[in-house]
Structure 1
Amino acid sequence: MRAIVQREFGGPEVMRLAEVERPEPLSGEVLVRVKAAGVNPVDVAVRAGAFPLLGEPPFTIGWDVSGVVEAAGPGARYRAGEEVYGMPFFPRAAGAYAEYVAAPSRQLARKPATLDHTEAAALPLAALTAWQGLVDLAEVGEGDRVLVHRAAGGVGHLAVQIAKARGAYVIALASGPKHAFLKELGADEVIDYRTTDYTEAAKDLDIVFDSSSEGTNALKVLKPGGTLVSIMQHGNRELAAAVEAAGRRFAGVSVEPDYASLEAIAALVDEGRIRPHVAAALPLAEAGRAHELVGSGTVQGKVVLTVE
């Protein structure tokens, strides 16, 4: 099969299309014929060696997949021909930038019926990050006041929609040109962080969803008992201690595969309450260009690789 392989750390040019052995599904696993693979900032960091999750190259990166079950091992949840999506194995290697991926069937869910594979591949890692932080840890619900950092990004634009779907009042932080996009997603307020100090503009919040590295700034806007959800500093013990000492809750998110949450997300998608935004869809051979886009930090929504 064809896959994107890199044999050294470096820029986008180190990723090259190559012929590799097709995986075989073990018991409880399925072989997925990949139709599309999402590209995330963590992919960029791993490729460059800034976040060496996978050890030394060679390897194939990528985790987000949407595709069709080609074959199923004994005991797997799905049969050949079913459409599935997911984020298998994270943070270990999944090799999603490829024509085929073998993965545990319980790390995948049925693809949302109302999305094509390109759109579905934009969901897993970003949507699971938002869901596990907002729903599982912060228990966001009706009437909660929620602030979302980097609200127009891959995780942020889904966090806005998930919070709204759960009945929250959502304040989104983003640069001015992205405000109309966020209003369309349902944000109740949008603050331009470039021109406005959000710690003065937003107060008495129940939840701050921090996909940046704002740290203790959240204490200025969280009400007592409020929750700081951090996806960038989930292992920062000093920050956690400071937040707890101030009478707030710290919830660090390290995203993990979870078919039950993927099923809940798919249900909201099919109800018309969540929609991933795909900023660009590029063929697998253009993985380098996809990384350039994601690495720029300016993309609204997600970038996806399509696999023919």
Structure 2
Amino acid sequence: MRAVVYTERGDSSVLELVEREVPEPGPGEVRVRIVRAGVNPTDWKFRAGGMGELAFPEIVPGQDGSGVVDAVGPGVDLAVGDRVWTMLAQHQRPGGTAQEQVVLPVANVTVLPDSASYDVGASLGVPAVTAHRALTTSEDGPSRLAPGALDGLTVLVAGGAGAVGNAAIQLARWAGATVISTVSSASKGELATAAGAHHVVDYTAGDTVAAIRELATDGVDLVVEVAPAQNIRLDLQVIKPRATIAIYANNGGDEVALSIRETFSTNARFQWVLLYTVGQAALTAAAEDITAALADGAFGVGDDHGLPLHRFPLERTADAHAAVEDGAVGKVLIDVSEA
């Protein structure tokens, strides 16, 4: 089978297309024939050495993917032929989704509804599970998402044109929230609106705090935050008491300064979100709720859903990584095999 690998840290040129033996699943494992693989910022950051030394002598990148089960090990309730999507395929393992066949623990594989495309399945994993976690850890909010779970709540999504922001908008809208999104341009505002945001605020054009407060006079209940170093002061000015600021990235800087007195008055909760340590219960809940949203037709990708797709064949995985690293707006996918 064909696989993309790297054996040293570096830029995308360290990625190499090779032939490897087809792996066999063991107890509690399945083998998935990957149709589509998703590329996330963590993929190039791992490859570039931003997470430290390489954990294995040879690594196949890719946390997210979609495909078809083509072999199962003992003790597995999935069947050959099941369409599935993956999460954290490369976490603590050398083999990710940038290959034609991958063996994964069954806990990392979820059935993909027949109504959902492989493009959607490969776009879930890191973005959608991150968004689910951010939306389900607030003091006054739900621990699970479903229609009506966020009724009466207002969610502010920073960076609504990004993959996690897009997923947060779609899931929050499905769960009944009023969604406000901040963006940096009119074109990105169009993407956030297509994703389902009720209101969009261009933070480069005027008083952002005043604009958000006009839309949410009592304040917002939950912030899904991508750039805390830049936005934390704004967040504190637009939240209501006991709100949660869920932080999943460090765009714009690694240091956050807090005014103790100003923060005291909010009774705010700061929730840090990183999928690798959220625990299996949170991952399982996210997989179930996201799949329910898919079955309801409430989650999609492509221009109509505010997430343009950029496609590359497997042999151009290096170009796919470079596109994500260069800040491509939308979702970068790798076409691995025929559906």
Does residue 207 in structure 1 map to residue 195 in structure 2?
A: no
RMSD of equivalent CA atoms: 2.4
Partners of 1:216 and 1:23 lie apart in 2 by 46
Counterpart residue number, 1:79: 79
Q: Residues 161-211 of structure 1: CA distance to partner in whole angstroms, max 9, x if unpaired?
A: 111111111111112212222222221111112223423322311111002
Q: Residues 200-225 of structure 1: CA distance to partner in whole angstroms, max 9, x if unpaired?
A: 32231111100223463221211111
8 Å CA contact 1:8, 1:56 repeated in 2: no
**Offset of 1:99 from its aligned partner?**
0.9
8 Å CA contact 1:158, 1:276 repeated in 2: no
Counterpart residue number, 2:154: 145
The verdict on how the C-alpha distance between 1:53 and 1:124 changes in structure 2, with shifts beyond 3 A counting, is: farther
The verdict on how the C-alpha distance between 1:260 and 1:223 changes in structure 2, with shifts beyond 3 A counting, is: closer
The verdict on how the C-alpha distance between 1:197 and 1:8 changes in structure 2, with shifts beyond 3 A counting, is: farther
Partners of 2:2 and 2:207 lie apart in 1 by 48
The verdict on how the C-alpha distance between 1:86 and 1:136 changes in structure 2, with shifts beyond 3 A counting, is: farther
8 Å CA contact 2:119, 2:301 repeated in 1: no
Structure 2 counterpart of 1:65, one-letter code: G
8 Å CA contact 1:37, 1:66 repeated in 2: yes
**Offset of 1:241 from its aligned partner?**
10
Does residue 247 in structure 1 map to residue 264 in structure 2?
A: no
8 Å CA contact 2:5, 2:15 repeated in 1: yes
**Offset of 1:306 from its aligned partner?**
1.1
Counterpart residue number, 1:272: 297
Structure 2 counterpart of 1:133, one-letter code: A
8 Å CA contact 2:182, 2:202 repeated in 1: yes
User: SS where residue 202 of structure 1 aligns?
Assistant: helix
Give the unaligned 5+ runs of structure 2.
143-148, 214-218, 303-307
The verdict on how the C-alpha distance between 1:168 and 1:7 changes in structure 2, with shifts beyond 3 A counting, is: same
Q: Residues 221-252 of structure 1: CA distance to partner in whole angstroms, max 9, x if unpaired?
A: 1111110001126xx99879959744101111
Partners of 1:145 and 1:305 lie apart in 2 by 35
Counterpart residue number, 2:179: 170
**Offset of 1:77 from its aligned partner?**
2.1
Structure 2 counterpart of 1:216, one-letter code: I
The verdict on how the C-alpha distance between 1:64 and 1:201 changes in structure 2, with shifts beyond 3 A counting, is: same
User: SS where residue 4 of structure 1 aligns?
Assistant: strand
Correspondent of 1:261 among 266, 286, 308:
286
Does residue 182 in structure 1 map to residue 195 in structure 2?
A: no
The verdict on how the C-alpha distance between 1:290 and 1:151 changes in structure 2, with shifts beyond 3 A counting, is: same
Counterpart residue number, 1:22: 22
8 Å CA contact 1:88, 1:104 repeated in 2: no
Partners of 1:89 and 1:136 lie apart in 2 by 24
Q: How does 1:98-117 map to 2 (within 5 A)?
A: 98-117=99-118
Query: Which is worse superposed, 160-169 or 256-265?
Result: 256-265
Q: Residues 63-106 of structure 1: CA distance to partner in whole angstroms, max 9, x if unpaired?
A: 10111111111001201111111214564234211111111112
With the length of structure 2 as denominator, give the TM-score of the two structures.
0.82
User: SS where residue 136 of structure 2 aligns?
Assistant: helix
Partners of 2:270 and 2:237 lie apart in 1 by 14
The verdict on how the C-alpha distance between 1:240 and 1:102 changes in structure 2, with shifts beyond 3 A counting, is: farther
Counterpart residue number, 2:321: 291
The verdict on how the C-alpha distance between 1:260 and 1:76 changes in structure 2, with shifts beyond 3 A counting, is: farther
Give the unaligned 5+ runs of structure 1.
none
Structure 1 counterpart of 2:104, one-letter code: A
User: How many residues are paired up?
Assistant: 305
User: SS where residue 26 of structure 1 aligns?
Assistant: coil
8 Å CA contact 1:160, 1:186 repeated in 2: yes
User: SS where residue 38 of structure 2 aligns?
Assistant: strand
User: SS where residue 76 of structure 1 aligns?
Assistant: coil
User: SS where residue 196 of structure 1 aligns?
Assistant: coil
Counterpart residue number, 2:238: 221
Partners of 1:162 and 1:45 lie apart in 2 by 26
Does residue 307 in structure 1 map to residue 336 in structure 2?
A: yes
